[in-house]
Amino acid sequence: MRRITLINGDGIGPEISNAVAKIIEASGLKIDWDVQTAGADVIEKEGVPLPERVLNSIRENKIALKAPVTTPIGKGFRSVNVQLRKELDLYANLRPCKNLPNVETKFDNVDIVVVRENTEDLYAGIENQIDENRAESIKIITREASMRICKFAFDYAVKNGRKEVCVVTKANIMKLSDGLFLECFRNVAANYPNIEKREILIDNLCMQLVQNPQKFDVLVLPNLYGDIVSDLCAGLIGGLGVAQGANIGKDYAVFEPVHGSAPDIQGQNKANPTALLLSAIEMLKYIGEFSYAQRIERALFMTLKAGICTADLGGVSTTDDFANAIIRHL
Ligand code: NAI
């Protein structure tokens, strides 16, 4: 039986984790969940929001499904998410954004996968206060990180039957940093003759995404553009309740929804488990369980098509009702 770390999070985390684990179990797939607590609730007992045992569990199991955890504001703790990415070198942020049945959006037939570089760019945190009136943030782009993220995007495209990979930069202005990213894309692209390639500037991409999002397939971007564009794409398909994600590295992968711990609806059996369920479906594909992934995805789509959904999507179902409806459709 496959052992997978389950970080059930806090806030709405435990509610949506239970729903998702129940749905996977009902599909017939046996998973040995190694349940690990993290976040605000464990600080009191263990002193830190991400104890070493959680990292060790992921190192051992290689794969984790993670519900959201609260980052306490102003208490000097590093975000659990940032720490996970750093400690496990999860260099690729993967955000598949696809329309769901009955989820009202401005556009139909959106099916975009955003691949964001997760480790450098302006997020490397290298900042200087030059004097009282001037500050600088340094944008770091390296050949090593750019090559591996571009390779990740092409490998993802091949593995998932996608047609095109499009690189997004501002290489006309930042000729050295974004220029290097673009050069790496071209070098990597040469090894994938069956995948179409495209190059676009970030400003042009943003305009086209809000006019014709159907024209895009897999996007690969440096960290800052990737952060912004992945949220834009999440908005295209219906927002937080349905936006899935994953952080993936050479050795480990952590699958998690984009949304936070939603303390405003915690404990009310109201939370939408769809984003975590979609993250779990992507995880099943990643570990090669394609048929279970497809089966659960189909049951989710049929449930939504039947007009069954939680309040954030305009429905009346509780978290449990929604999960039970998916189970009935399996
Ligand atoms: P949030 O995503 O938790 O909530 C924003 C709004 O969306 C709220 O009104 C909430 O009720 C709603 N919402 C979010 N997910 C939902 C779901 N599945 N079903 C129905 N409604 C949903 O963002 P917020 O309030 O800014 O952050 C709350 C906490 O979550 C913070 O401590 C933050 O640090 C943490 N956080 C954790 C993340 C993670 O673990 N990956 C990611 C983002 C935030």
Q: For residue 68, which atom of ligand 1 is closest to its CA?
A: 40
| 3, 170, 283, 290 from 182: Cα distances, Å | 39, 9, 29, 33
In this prediction, residue 82 carries a pLDDT of 85
CA 188 to chain centre: 23
**pLDDT tens track for 262-288:** 999 999 999 999 999 999 999 999 999
How remote is the CA of residue 223 from the centroid of ligand 1, in Å? 21
Torsion angles phi and psi, residue 182, rounded to 5 = -65, -40
Q: Whose CA is nearest to atom 22 of ligand 1?
A: 241
Is the distance from the beta carbon of residue 262 to the nearest atom of ligand 1 less than 6 Å? yes
| pTM of the entire predicted model | 0.94
Pocket test for ligand 1, best of 16, 240, 274, 310 (most atoms within 8 A of CB): 240
The CATH fold assigned to 106-236 is: Isopropylmalate Dehydrogenase (3.40.718)
In terms of C-beta distances under 8 Å and separation of at least 24 residues, what long-range contacts does 125-132 make, across chains too? none
The pLDDT score that the predictor gives to residue 241 is 86
* 272 CB within 6 A, ligand 1: yes
Distance 163 CA to ligand 1 centre (A): 33
Task: Write out residues in the chain with pLDDT < 50, as ranges.
Answer: none
Percent of the chain with pLDDT over 90: 90
Cβ(57) – ligand 1 distance below 6 Å: no
Residue-by-residue DSSP string for 73-103? TTSSPPPHHHHHHHHTT--EEEEEEE--TT-
The CB of 271 under 6 Å from ligand 1? The reply is yes
Q: State the pLDDT at residue 74.
A: 65
- The number of C-alpha atoms within 13 Å of 99 and in the hemisphere containing its C-beta is 13
Q: What is the pLDDT of residue 75?
A: 63
13 within ligand 1 shell (Cβ under 6 A): no
| Residue among 255, 259, 270, 272 whose CB has most ligand 1 atoms within 8 A, to mutate | 259
Question: Which pLDDT score is estimated for 23?
Answer: 98
Cβ–ligand 1 distance for 238 under 6 Å, the answer no
Residue 96 half-sphere exposure toward CB, CA atoms < 13 A: 21
| Region(s) of the chain under CATH 3.40.718.10 | 1-93+245-330, 106-236
The protein residue whose alpha carbon is closest to atom 41 in ligand 1 is 68
Residue 210, token pair as written in the block: 């809000």
- Nearest CA residue ID for atom 10, ligand 1: 262
Q: H or E stretch including 253?
A: strand 253-257
Q: What is the CATH number of domain 1-93+245-330?
A: 3.40.718.10
pLDDT tens for 65-87 read 999 998 777 666 778 888 899 99
Determine whether the shortest distance from the Cβ of 254 to ligand 1 is under 6 A: no
Ligand 1 atom nearest to 79, measured from its CA? 34
